[in-house]
Amino acid sequence: MYAMLFFALAQTPAQPQAQSPLPPAAPTVSGFPGNPTGFRPKLEIPFNRFYDYPELLAWMDKLEATFPKLMRHEVIGHSVEGREMRVYTLTNAEKGADREKPAMWIDGNVHGNEVQGGEAVLYTAWYLLENYATLPEAAALVDDCTFYLLPSQNPDGRAHWFEEAHTAHSSRTGVQPHDDDRDGRFDEDPADDLDGDGQITQMRKYVPGQGNFRLDPDDPRLMIYVPQNDKGIKGDWILLGEEGIDNDGDGQINEDEKGGYDMNRAWPGMWQPDFIQYGAGPYPLYWPETRSIAGFLLDHGNVAALQSFHNNGGMILRGPGAEAFGEYDGQDLAAFDELGRDGEKMLPFYRYMVIWKDLYSVFGGFTTWAYEDLGIISFTNEMWNTDQYYPDRSKAPDEGGRGGGDKARHFFDDNLLLGAGFVNWHPYKHPFYGDIEIGGWRKDVGRVPPSFLVEEMLHRNALFCLKHAKAMPKVSIEEVKVTDIGDGVKAVDAIFKNQHVIPTRTGRAASMKIGEPDAFTIAGKDVEVLAGGFRSDRWRPEKIDLAEREPARLLRETGIGPRGEVRVRWLVRGKGTKVTLAWQGEKARDVSLDVELK
């Protein structure tokens, strides 16, 4: 009310009066560092919803256009239905080419229904780019690292999930026709959207005295299971499964959906065929989406960190995927464990887990291949945990009985979403079952958060990615010392340090000879390198693993360990007064240092 009064007064036409000079309005700083006042993003993207594939790419392209010096994209292949597989390369090229820097690969949505990974990739790019100009930490990441961003591994699956009727779990597969029931026909009996509401829900039928479910007297949406008993008590309802009819007349309903495979079982690491690992296809990288991605990764040896987003369950997963693999290298576990535990702090309701041990054995997974065959520290985050409906469990509605879990869900949906998530049971005349009812949760309930919790999920997971990226190796040459041995021979000692927890070469890469060893070099005009090697003792320089040949170029299969250091000594002689020490490796920026020989 007072504001109105003030405003009214200000409006009153008055004689001109002397006005005190107000300072100009503080300029709004561009960018969006998560602080909610005084900032305006250059590009406003609503992060409370999900985007179908063309929209997702359109946002990425808009970002690229808004920050043209910092992101560009290339097409690395096409999906089964011809959609572009795009990798967006995010780095400041003025500070070095993408391949010269350690790179993090981020993707999502290999399962077509696990859509939020796409938005997580978008959010990560947006957050880095928006804050490049104003947050030094964002600038450092964009200047010193490369991000290879693939919004969706399975654009066909994603598109179909959005555009067609599905459940929360369907459209996981790609869409190449697949004979799921081995009857010689392909994709002939998918679920059917009988009531045309754009959702695939459940069918139930009223069969008084002959069913195994009864309705909750307080809420007829809820079905309570009636277990077998000696009292002759029966339910009045049966559940008939997902909406559908027997399209091919073979006596089964919904047994051959579109596609019917799992592209996250197609990767070459411990790959096994279908009968051992469901969904794997006839050989590794069978589907074009997977082969293009593998080709890119094999061609970019600078990838040192990797995240592939899935839903759901609230997990930060690492391999081994299969028990038969054994244990991961102890040195590498230092990086995995540190990032995993920090991740748990950044992502409430998420647990850091080992796939085969804490879930189940899986063969041919993407992140396990990336570590086991490419030597990259890799995680899969399963985004969103339904516990997040009630962060304070003590306040969740009564969980008693089998309907209890559903009770809590309905309370949430009814009160916080005005019932938007649930398709209430309604009658339908089924060609085979007769009078039935159709109803259930929408496809965007359960595996993806409600809209008002989407941005939090994206932000936390994106910042976990940035923490992972910050852990990529960074090498420096320090504590260089030149010692005069006599007769013109000089000893050059240097410590090569890796400042971060991801080693320059993982233990896995070293033991399986993946990629190339790190090179530690010395060179100088008119300087002869007589000997050199890696020192094993800080105090006794004579304890040295002398190179048998080519001392000016020392190769080290194990690289520089997590926050580790490698001490090197060279013995040189010559008229020259200067040498250049250098380190070259695949997964960190090359460094060099000029040293005066005095």
Partner 1 sequence: MLFAPVLLASVSLAQTAPVSQEAHAPLLAHQDLQQSMKQLATAHAELVSVVAVGRSRAGRAIEGLRLMAGERSSGRPAILVVADVDGPYVWTSTLALEEARTLAEGYARDERVKKLLDTTTLYFVPRADPDAAEGRFAAPLFEQWASGAGVDNDRDGRVGEDPPSDVNGDGVITTIRVPSPEGEWIEDPTDPRALVKADPKKGQRGKWKLWTEGRDLDRDERVAEDSELDAVVNLNFPQGWRELDPRAGRFATDEPPAHALCDFVLLHKDIALVLTYGAQDNLVEKPKTIGDGGQRTRRLPPDGTIDADGELYAEIGKRYKKLTGSKAKGENDARGSFQAWCEQQRGLWCLNIAGWTMPLDEPAPKKEGEAEKPKPEGDQPEPSDDAKRLRWIDAHNEAARFVAWKPFQHPELGAVEIGGFAPYAKIEPPESERVELEKKQYEFLLTLGELLPRVVIPECSAKALSGGLWEIKAAVENHAFLPLLSAAARRAESVRPARVTLRLPKDAQLLAGSGESLLEDLTGTNGRHEYRWLVHGAPPKALGVEVETDHAGNAQATPEVK
- Summarize as ranges the residues that interact with partner 1 (CB under 8 A): 179, 182-184, 249-251, 268-276, 282-285, 294, 298, 322-324, 361, 363, 372-373, 512-514, 516-517, 519, 548-550, 553, 555, 557
Shortest distance (Å) from residue 433 CB to partner 1: 19
Name the token pair of 385. Answer: 């945990």
Q: How far apart are the first and last CA of the chain?
A: 80
Q: SS3 string of 297-352?
A: HHHCCCEEEEEEEECCCCEEEECCCCHHHCCCCHHHHHHHHHHHHHHHHHCCCCEE
Shortest distance (Å) from residue 108 CB to partner 1: 23
| Nearest CB to partner 1, comparing residues 331 and 584 | 584
Residue pointed to by tokens 């992060």 = 47
The one-character DSSP state at 99 is G
Identity of the residue numbered 54? P
CB 124 within 8 A of CB 462: yes
| Nearest CB to partner 1, comparing residues 449 and 517 | 517
| Nearest CB to partner 1, comparing residues 65 and 324 | 324
Shortest distance (Å) from residue 282 CB to partner 1: 6
Per DSSP, the three-state class of 74 is: strand
Shortest distance (Å) from residue 361 CB to partner 1: 5
| Nearest CB to partner 1, comparing residues 305 and 322 | 322
| Nearest CB to partner 1, comparing residues 130 and 586 | 586
Contacts of 598 (CB under 8 A, 6+ apart): 482, 577
Shortest distance (Å) from residue 576 CB to partner 1: 24
CA-to-CA distance for 40 and 228, rounded, in angstroms?
Answer: 62
| Nearest CB to partner 1, comparing residues 119 and 329 | 329
Name the token pair of 347. Answer: 């992502």
Q: What is the DSSP string of 438-501?
A: EEEE-TTSSSS--HHHHHHHHHHHHHHHHHHHHTS--EEEEEEEEEEEETTEEEEEEEEEE-SS
Which backbone phi and psi does 463 adopt, to 5 degrees?
A: -70, -25
| Nearest CB to partner 1, comparing residues 179 and 337 | 179
CB 316 within 8 A of CB 379: yes
Shortest distance (Å) from residue 514 CB to partner 1: 7
| Nearest CB to partner 1, comparing residues 238 and 509 | 509
Per DSSP, the three-state class of 518 is: strand
CB contact burial 559-576 (16+ within 10 A = b; e otherwise)? bbbbbbebbbbbbbebee
Shortest distance (Å) from residue 450 CB to partner 1: 37
| Nearest CB to partner 1, comparing residues 215 and 581 | 581
The DSSP H or E segment spanning 379 is strand 377-382
In angstroms, the Cα distances linking 197 to 233, 335, 417, 562 are: 35, 48, 19, 54
Which backbone phi and psi does 212 adopt, to 5 degrees?
A: -120, 15
Shortest distance (Å) from residue 466 CB to partner 1: 30
Shortest distance (Å) from residue 561 CB to partner 1: 18
| Nearest CB to partner 1, comparing residues 215 and 294 | 294
Shortest distance (Å) from residue 354 CB to partner 1: 15
Shortest distance (Å) from residue 518 CB to partner 1: 10
| Nearest CB to partner 1, comparing residues 188 and 257 | 188
CB 494 within 8 A of CB 477: yes
E strand map for 212-319: 213-216, 219-225, 235-242, 303-309, 315-318
